[in-house]
Amino acid sequence: MSDSEPSKEIPESIFSDDDGSADARLAQALIRYSHAKTPLADVVDALAYARVLIPVLANGERRIMGEHGVEKDQVASTGVVAVQMPDGRAALPIFTDVDAMKAWNAEARPIPAEGPRAALAAIAEGWSSLVLNPGMETVLIPRPAVWAVGQGQDWSPAVVDGWVSEDVREAVSSAVSLDDALRGVDARAGGNAEVTIVLTLAPGLTQPELDAIIERVQRELAHSDVVAQRVDTLELKLATAP
């Protein structure tokens, strides 16, 4: 290259001055959430603007993780590690700071990323959730929130203060078609799942008739965009009409 040609400079990383400490807004949201003074939505909102750390392990490495319901991990081809939650789903662990990550796994290498990029990394691997600071003040970021952060959208939980939001209940009611066998449908805060769908059935149905109704309801709910985007997990409960 001649002296007259301008030199090309490599752009500096946005994390070049990162000292590995926690994002202040996210740290404050986590503290308030741990004391039940703010909802999970505030943590998710802070995550959308925060730098987090994604742990990377040697390719093919597997470990047993016994704390806070984490059973084992899976390592993707990139070396990014997932933890398996008690319900069997995989989640991407992320950390607010280097100390939190090293306390979890001293051999993990931190990769800084903005919250939305971390969400997209989990989605790209086919993992449904994020786990923030596993082994410490563990916070599970559910699948709908991960999708919202990754797409730059606000997240509204399906259940607030023990009640299913009205728009989610309306979406469930409009998605499921009623007939002589299925008399009613309702959405309530779940026990084993985030949302319980209560089906009120006509008395005296046979098992094949019940199976057909359940299969149909599951199919109809799967086609609801609101249910897919807002509800993390759901279960069906059967009730008999008077």
Going along the chain from its start, the domains and CATH numbers come out as: 24-150 (no CATH), 159-240 (3.30.70.1350)
Instruction: Inform me whether the pLDDT recorded for 9 exceeds 70.
Output: no
Residue pair 30/96 in contact by the 8 Å Cβ criterion: yes
pLDDT of residue 63: 41
Q: Which of 159, 175, 164, 160 is nearest to 219 (CA)?
A: 175
Instruction: Inform me whether the pLDDT recorded for 120 exceeds 60.
Output: yes
Residue 89 binned pLDDT confidence (cut-offs 50, 70, 90) = confident
CA dihedral 74, 29, 144, 147 (to 10 degrees): -70
Question: Residue 92 and residue 119: Cα distance in Å, rounded?
Answer: 9
Share of the chain above pLDDT 90, in %: 68
Residue 86 binned pLDDT confidence (cut-offs 50, 70, 90) = confident
pLDDT of residue 59: 57
As a whole number, the mean pLDDT across the chain is 86
Give the number of other Cβ atoms within 10 Å of residue 75's Cβ. 17
Give the number of other Cβ atoms within 10 Å of residue 130's Cβ. 27
Instruction: Inform me whether the pLDDT recorded for 22 exceeds 60.
Output: yes
Flag whether the pTM goes above 0.85.
no
pLDDT of residue 202: 97
For 188, the token pair is 């309530």
For 136, the token pair is 């410490």
pLDDT of residue 69: 38
Give me the mean pLDDT over the 186-210 stretch: 95
Q: Which of 45, 51, 24, 58 is nearest to 112 (CA)?
A: 51
pLDDT of residue 15: 61
Instruction: Inform me whether the pLDDT recorded for 133 exceeds 60.
Output: yes
For 133, the token pair is 């600071």
Instruction: Inform me whether the pLDDT recorded for 74 exceeds 60.
Output: no
Instruction: Inform me whether the pLDDT recorded for 118 exceeds 50.
Output: yes
Contacts of 65 (CB under 8 A, 6+ apart): 71, 72, 73, 83, 134
Give me the mean pLDDT over the 231-238 stretch: 95
Q: Which of 84, 86, 90, 166 is nearest to 123 (CA)?
A: 90
pLDDT of residue 14: 58
Instruction: Inform me whether the pLDDT recorded for 116 exceeds 60.
Output: yes
Q: How far is CA 72 from CA 37, 55, 80, 109, in A?
A: 31, 15, 14, 18
Question: Residue 159 and residue 229: Cα distance in Å, rounded?
Answer: 13
Residue pair 168/136 in contact by the 8 Å Cβ criterion: no
